[in-house]
Amino acid sequence: MSEAQQAHSLLNATAARAGQRLQTASPARERDSVCASIFCPLCLSSATSHAFRDAGCEVRACSHCGLFFVHPYPRGPEQHRRVESGEYPEIELLDCSRRYEGERFYYDRHFDVIAEQCDGAAAILDVGCGTGNLLERLADRVPCHRLGIELNPSAARTARKVAKCDILEVPFETFRSARKFDVITMINVFSHISSFDAMFESLRLALAPGGRVILRTSEMSRRVSRWNQFHWGVPDDLHFLGLNTLDFLCAKYGFTVASRLRVPFEDELFRRSRCRQMGRSGWHNAIKRTALRVPGALRLARNIYAAALGERLFVSFIVLVARSEDAPKSPSGIASVLKRGGNAECQLQPR
């Protein structure tokens, strides 16, 4: 059998296994009932139900605001310390050289879109800056004051070296600064911050008048499957937006969506540059290397994925601006949800 035939057989076998797991998972999903004791960390509604499991963690979906979230949801600052230090056995942190290489490939694809939103900014804050590749690139493109926030000590040290700017090792939820920022970037970091209230309070306090928040995060439909990703990153990733969750967030915290680009995950997953990013799974990395070598393999894999799992998971590039009102507005029905939640709020402590 030729190398191309071997690769195609491997991809078809992978899709078949995913299809079998989807079929066996469906009855379990149908049997799930709404659990009155598990509250959504965003709207505090008890109308939540099982979505899927990965890495020993349950992911639940809220029927009110659409948020997907891990259960049990983390309490207090201990959660972030455990994840970043690698205490969770399910999470293997990449070394900084591999992480920097991954960031480089990532921003090769997406930097121009981000930089366009940063043009004219006098001060930029990159939350969860990793090893600093975005800040490094911005130094050449946008002459301005740059500041990063990164809780992982090794990544923060690397970021200081490559970006040549200050990198703070403080949770963004507690970040306060006399300087206001014209742009705050949160690239693939939104899902790691557990307290929505503290996060949006910090955003409002840090933004300059007319400032922009740039998010890149996941959005997904209720049809999403465990097999839309090989590895969901839970419990490092704590929550994922539903297709309408952003509207709820903006209404609750006083923001407006200036722009949103929603791309099906399959259009991102099978890019050659993404396949060059080696991740945590050796088996997954082996498939990437094979697909890169075999002509047509990525196109075939994308078509198989799209047929079985397409249009369920999306990667979204979002720009938010704060409304001019001093107090954020609540979406319709949130007051009643908070009232119905009873003591739920005390169960959900910010990190």
Q: Which amino acid is at 273?
A: S
Does residue 25 register a pLDDT over 70? Answer: no
Closest CA to 248 of 69, 73, 71, 67: 67
Q: Is residue 214 part of a domain?
A: yes
End-to-end CA distance of the chain: 54
Specify the residue for token string 């056995």. Answer: 89
pLDDT of residue 18: 45
Q: Is residue 289 part of a domain?
A: yes
pLDDT of residue 290: 84
Q: Is residue 200 part of a domain?
A: yes
Q: Is residue 113 part of a domain?
A: yes
- Tens digits of per-residue pLDDT, 288-334? 788 888 899 999 999 999 999 999 999 999 999 999 864 444 444 33
Does residue 341 register a pLDDT over 70? Answer: no
Q: Is residue 73 part of a domain?
A: no
Mean pLDDT of the chain: 82
Of 25-29, 103-107, 163-167, 338-342, the one with minimum mean pLDDT is 338-342
Q: For residues 249-278, give the mean pLDDT.
A: 91
Q: Is residue 227 part of a domain?
A: yes
DSSP letter at 76 equals S
Task: Give the span between the Cα atoms of 47 and 302, in whole angstroms.
Answer: 35
Q: How many domains does the chain have?
A: 1
pLDDT of residue 90: 46
The pTM assigned to this predicted structure is 0.80
| Domain enclosing residue 191, as ranges | 93-333
Q: Which amino acid is at 204?
A: R
- Tens digits of per-residue pLDDT, 174-224? 999 999 999 999 999 999 999 999 999 999 999 999 999 999 999 999 999
Q: Is residue 305 part of a domain?
A: yes
Provide the pLDDT confidence category of residue 280 given band limits of 50, 70 and 90. low
Task: Give the span between the Cα atoms of 37 and 14, in whole angstroms.
Answer: 37
Q: For residues 47-69, give the mean pLDDT.
A: 96
Q: For residues 339-345, give the mean pLDDT.
A: 34
Provide the pLDDT confidence category of residue 348 given band limits of 50, 70 and 90. very low
Closest CA to 198 of 80, 106, 309: 80
**CATH classification of the domain holding 228:** 3.40.50.150
Task: Give the span between the Cα atoms of 14 and 146, in whole angstroms.
Answer: 44
